[in-house]
Structure 1
Amino acid sequence: MNMDSNTVVLSLLVFLTCAPRCIYSEERHLVKMNLVRNALSLGAYCLDGSLPAYHLDRGFGAGARNWLLQFEGGGWCNDIKSCLDRAQTHRGSTHYMSKVEVFSGILSNNASLNPDFYNWNRVKLRYCDGASFAGDAKFDNGTSLLYFRGQRIWQAIILDLLPKGLGQAKKALLSGCSAGGLATFLHCDNFTNYLPKNASVKCLSDAGFFLDARDIGLNHTMRYFYKDLVALQGVEQNLDKNCTTSNPYPAQCFFPQYALPYIRTPFFILNSAYDVFQFHHALVPPAADPHGHWYHCKLNPAACNAIQIYTLQGFRKYMLETLRFFLNSSRRGGMFINSCFAHCQSELQDTWFAPDSPRVNNKTIAQAVGDWYFGRNISKEIDCAYPCDNTCHNLIG
């Protein structure tokens, strides 16, 4: 079974929402792909056996020794068929990937569009394993071969970047979107182990706080999906040991809500309380709505009836409840939970930092993240419940 957040419909709506600015960004800031040659010695391969890759845009000036790494997102695969299908796409092979990527939002090199990180070394880690860079296994039945080597891909990319300056980093931020945002939870503490002891290292997850919640049919759709994924791709051995030893169901430590209490590195959680991907695939998966009662609500939140709104508000409440301990924790943690029907807000310029960007307490996402990273202010922003926020870019509506 494949779960890919980049559906055709959502991608089209994202494009229509930001088309003028996206086109402008593409014309001015394209970054080339680098294949990781040392991956061979580590056995680090994409699903189809191709070499992993990343895009690096060099920092300059005062940011020349600072590094921002961004995990790419793109869903998961949790069985052989879906992984074989995925291996024949850009989600499982660098052969099918675009060889240049647009760097915008948190990856922009323009000070007016990305004021705090524009001159850092910015890296996009391409996603081709289907398990949030966390698996370590192989499938070979004599006719089909799949490499589940996300953990080794992560290690190979880091080892490739260390001699390029990452090893002398003064400041570093590990980030990611969607499945890449989940990867940030899984690799945050490990990232700090590679860097100098005196470096300022922090982590940011964008749309990666996937909940262990029941769907509208009262089934644990995501829990069983992740359970199969963890077993297939050999993920459990790479999950946080403190979490797995204290949890009767170790595979659940793939969920951020169970992993977060054990993360020692300062962490920022950027998420919509009505995350579109979770709304469509975890709360109301197609199997739980065979007659399409939620069809119009999924397309446009304004079309949701009173019961559907009540259900959505319950999902938001559960998310905030699971984050309560984090909200009340020390100054080291940051948070921006808004009420926009969106998924991934750090890489799109319109939602990251623009004149009409979404705001909570009159603060943009970029400002909130910057305040947190540099310690300018305590940055734990929680939006009011839908439909009160008129600054949203509701990409599905």
Structure 2
Amino acid sequence: MNQNMPTQLVIGCFIALSCAPWWVYSQNGDNRTLVNMTLVRNASVLGAYCLDGSLPAYHLDRGFGAGARNWLLQFEGGGWCNDIPSCLERAKTHRGSTRFMNKLEVFSGILSNNASLNPDFYNWNRVKLRYCDGASFAGDAKFDNGTSLLYFRGQRIWRAIIQDLLPKGLGQARKALLSGCSAGGLASFLHCDNLTNYLPKNTSVKCLSDAGFFLDERDISLNHSMRSFYESLISLHGVEQNLDKSCTGFRYYPAQCFFPQYALKYIRTPFFVLNSAYDVYQFHHILVPPSADPKGHWYHCKLNPAACNAAQIRILQGFRKDMLLALSFFYRHSRRGGMFINSCFAHCQSESQETWFAADSPRVNNKTIAEAVGDWYFGRRVSKEIDCAYNCDHTCANLIG
């Protein structure tokens, strides 16, 4: 807390029992909600620790009105670590320790409590699960060489947070949506069916992955760089034991079930796949990782798709084709599934107000992401939207950053 904050204001907050949520105003006048962090005090009973041994955490903004018994759980994203040096480094940051995390989180986009900014989920209980394990909440192992200690306890963190939320109202949920962005979007695939085990049988449970459909794709040098990365991650974190047994039992390489394209058909819970066909993270780290472009031929193309040459565009179009091929079975045969695959060079579109639901948001068939997800969740109409190929969509900002 700011040491210069007036004493009266500090006392006022405590009289009100809590300063969360806080409402602040951005320069353009839109109100944003800042939500306090909640540490899971009983997590140690389950051995659920962040990489550095700190307690896991989440942020909860309470629902109200008709949404008071509905719950939206959002996995935070933030990449992974796949070896001891990278995990030790991660443990010293907000990606591996709650000690370094902001204690207040902005809730926007799908987490907004403003009906005009988030029309279908604004009054739900909205929770952001903080990410501090480095393996999409899926590992269960520990490293201790007498000098360094790392906890790979993502699976236990998931369980500890859910068990902390159950008596706070999640256990009586009427509707629930498990969501996530990037590595958190991957966590949505990994934990979707498991959430139903904690909730009443009559709860309507559905899941959404935003920018989490990571492809098992060869890079431009024809190496399976992402597959190799995931294999080392799975081994280090002890993830394989927590992968869907229905999937691993049918794969020669069980670790492939960490990839959503192999796991999706075994998920029984209704699922929505939100992804860019030119996902920026996958473009930069799966299709053209630094190791595959040592001379930087793709440097300008990565910064701005308009700078890509014809050969590079053909490769990018091939990546889009492979993504749609990987989703083709789901598109054709999933009666309860939904999708929004646009052609914006973007990564994570549900947490940003600009891309979730705004006047200039990306659209496919004149439908925003928020409208597509809402149509799917509430069964208003079939919601399987696939954009035309780059560069025909003029609703995209294509700001790679």
Question: Aligned to 1:112, what secondary structure does the other structure show?
Answer: coil
Return the match for 2:151 from 147, 150, 158: 147
Distance 1:251 1:335 in 2: 25
* 8 A contact 1:31–1:102 mirrored in 2: yes
Corresponding residue to 1:94 among 95, 98, 107: 98
Are positions 1:369 and 2:373 aligned together? Answer: yes
Matched-pair contact (CA < 8 Å) for 2:26–2:32: no
> 1:396 & 1:143 partners in 2: Cα distance?
40
2:244 is equivalent to residue 240 of structure 1: yes
Q: Which runs of at least 4 in structure 1 moved beyond 4 Å after TM superposition? A: 21-27
Among 188, 194, 199, the residue aligned to 2:198 = 194
Q: Which range is displaced more, 90-99 or 387-396?
A: 387-396
Task: Identify the residue that residue 211 of structure 2 maps to in structure 1.
Answer: 207
Determine whether 1:384 maps to 2:393: no
Q: CA contact under 8 A between 1:25 and 1:102: conserved in structure 2?
A: no
State how 1:125-136 maps to structure 2 within 5 Å.
125-136=129-140
The verdict on how the C-alpha distance between 1:116 and 1:108 changes in structure 2, with shifts beyond 3 A counting, is same
Is the partner of 1:246 in helix, strand or coil?
coil
Match of 2:167 in 1: 163
Aligned counterpart, 1:14: none
Q: Which residue of 2 aligns with 1:219?
A: 223
SS at match of 1:31: strand
**1:1-40 correspondence to structure 2 within 5 Å:** 28-40=32-44
**Superposition pairs for residues 31-110 of structure 1, below 5 Å?**
31-110=35-114
Provide the secondary structure at the position in 1 that maps to 2:329.
helix
RMSD: 1.3
Quote the residue 2:19 is aligned against.
none
Post-superposition offset of 1:25? 8.1
Contact 2:139 2:152 in 1 (8 A): yes
Instruction: Confirm or deny that 1:255 pairs with 2:259.
Output: yes
TM-score normalised to the size of structure 1? 0.94
Is the 8 Å Cα contact of residues 44 and 52 (structure 1) preserved in structure 2? yes
Q: Partner of 2:340: helix, strand, or coil?
A: strand
Cα distance in structure 1, aligned partners of 2:29 and 2:199: 31
Equivalenced residues, count:
378
Per the alignment, residue 230 of structure 1 pairs with 234
Identical aligned pairs, as a percentage? 83
Q: Secondary structure at the match of 2:333?
A: coil
Q: Given that residues 32 and 108 in structure 2 are in contact (C-alpha distance below 8 angstroms), is that contact kept between their aligned partners in structure 1? A: no
1:395 CA displacement: 2.1
Q: Using the alignment, how far apart are the partners of 2:261 and 2:201 within structure 1?
A: 27
Q: 1:192 to 1:219 in 2, by over 3 A?
A: same
Q: CA deviation at 1:294?
A: 0.2
SS in 2 for 1:55: strand
- What SS does structure 2 have at the residue aligned with 1:205? strand
Deviation at 1:315, TM superposition (A): 0.1
Q: Give 1:316's match in structure 2, choosing from 320, 339, 361.
A: 320
Q: Read off the aligned partner of 1:390 and give its amino acid letter.
A: H
SS of corresponding position for 2:348: coil
5 Å matches for 1:296-307? 296-307=300-311
Distance 1:211 1:349 in 2: 26
Specify which of 283, 290, 297 is matched with residue 294 of structure 2.
290
User: CA shift at 1:23, angstroms?
Assistant: 5.3
Q: For the residues of structure 2 that align with 1:199 and 1:329, how far apart are their CA atoms? A: 24
> 1:27: Cα distance to partner?
5.8
User: TM-score, structure 2 length as denominator?
Assistant: 0.93
Per the TM alignment, residue 330 of structure 1 is displaced from its structure 2 partner at its CA by 3.2
Shift of residue 26 of structure 1?
8.4
1 CA distance for matches of 2:27 and 2:241? 43
d(CA) in 2 for partners of 1:25 and 1:159?
38
Deviation at 1:329, TM superposition (A): 1.5
**Preserved contact between residue 351 and residue 393 of structure 1 (Cα < 8 Å):** no
* Alpha-carbon contact 2:276-2:342 (below 8 Å) kept: yes
Q: Distance in 2 between matches of 1:229 and 1:364?
A: 35
1:128 is matched by which residue type in structure 2? Answer: C
Kept in 1: contact 2:82–2:232 (CA 8 A) = yes
For residues 94 and 130 of structure 2, what CA distance do their matches in structure 1 show?
A: 9
